[in-house]
Amino acid sequence: MELFFDLAFVFALTRVSQRFADLGNEAGWALVTGLGRTLLLFLALWLVWSHTTWITSRYEPERSMIQVIVVGTMFASLVMAVALPRAMEERALPFAVAYLVVMVIRPLVIAAALRGHPRRRVALRLAPWAAATAPLWLVGALGPDELRLPLWAAALAVDYLGWTLGWPLPWLGAATVGGWRIAGEHLAERHQQMFLIALGESIWVIGIIFSGVGYSAGRAAAFTVAFITSVLLWRIYFYRAGLLLTQALERSRSPGRLGAASQRTHAVLVLSVLVTAVSYELVIGQPYGEARPTWLLFVVGGPALFLVARLRLEYEIFGRVSRSQMIGLVVLLLAVAGLVRWPPMVGLSAAAGVLALVALLEALRSRHRPLEESASPIGREKPGNHGSEA
């Protein structure tokens, strides 16, 4: 059911990536606002996906009503994805309405369907918080275009804040995520699956772009380097922290806290893959074209953002920071100044080279050593009293 649900997000992520790619020729304030708008739309989609993942990790997914809710969310997510390319323009209303249906109506349906369930009150907390931001979403969709970004940004900030605080209400209190009982293995698999979906989107971009342009040796080389980059992202993610996420959640005394931290980290990981995929589209089309400094936001920025998130994941699983990943991040940042005047292909190759160095150092570090087990510092202490909602 959930893999079927993810099909809507396969399409949605391609729309996010395309919005980023459309910014390749922008500069100055237009580039900044364009990045801000696309990031906002991505975060709205991520919140919908994350809430659904937590629902299926906390409630019994084999229940018919839960399956109906997942399918309904899939349809709303598909509407958001269809509207996304012009969601900041003439398709703002369907995007906002689909989002509000998930955030406001769905919790009420869950609360009604799970009458008597010990954890149904979380849904009752979420609905009022989401309803409070609904006017901002609707006014932003129906009002002047220049107000849309600030109104939606404020609404989304409140939605994320409510989640962080546990949607506190005067008569119910808060239900902090850190105290929730969850299926740790299920949540870990969902995060891993979404990362793989993002990688799949990058492979799709590589194939679509290369098959749609005239053949040349330069484009074939860019195609090859782009593929190698995606393989390296996969390798660095899963080796070895990504593989141990399930183990870390199962061993944690507060799996809700670790799961919430992992959710935030995977949001950045998925975003970094989408940004990196934009560099594939730009470079395969013009591998030895004119040097464009703004392209480095994608060519170098994507892998750098990935390493930042991967460093955080390393800490969440092992309680340490990877030296090889830190070295790779520093090298990437230092290389930016030198890559400004070189053709895009040089930047893509340099980023792939740094990722290959990180992967090699990781392999050498673990050579002839026993495989490590997770030792997450998050949730190591005994969980406090989080109320009956846990």
For 170-207, what is each residue's pLDDT tens digit? Answer: 988 888 776 677 777 889 999 999 999 999 999 999 99
Q: Is 173 helix (H, G, I), strand (E, B) or coil?
A: strand
Q: Which pLDDT does position 383 carry in this prediction?
A: 45
Q: Which stretches in the chain have pLDDT values below 50? A: 381-388
Q: Which pLDDT does position 390 carry in this prediction?
A: 52
Q: Which pLDDT does position 334 carry in this prediction?
A: 96
Q: Which pLDDT does position 271 carry in this prediction?
A: 98
Q: Which pLDDT does position 361 carry in this prediction?
A: 95
Q: Which pLDDT does position 182 carry in this prediction?
A: 78
Residues paired with residue 173 on neighbouring β-strands, in sequence order: 169
pTM of the predicted model, to two decimals?
Answer: 0.94
What gap in Å lies between CA 134 and CA 284, rounded to an integer? 42
CA 88 to chain centre: 20
Residues paired with residue 169 on neighbouring β-strands, in sequence order: 173
Q: Can you list the alpha helix ranges (DSSP code H) found in 239-322? A: 245-251, 255-285, 296-299, 301-318
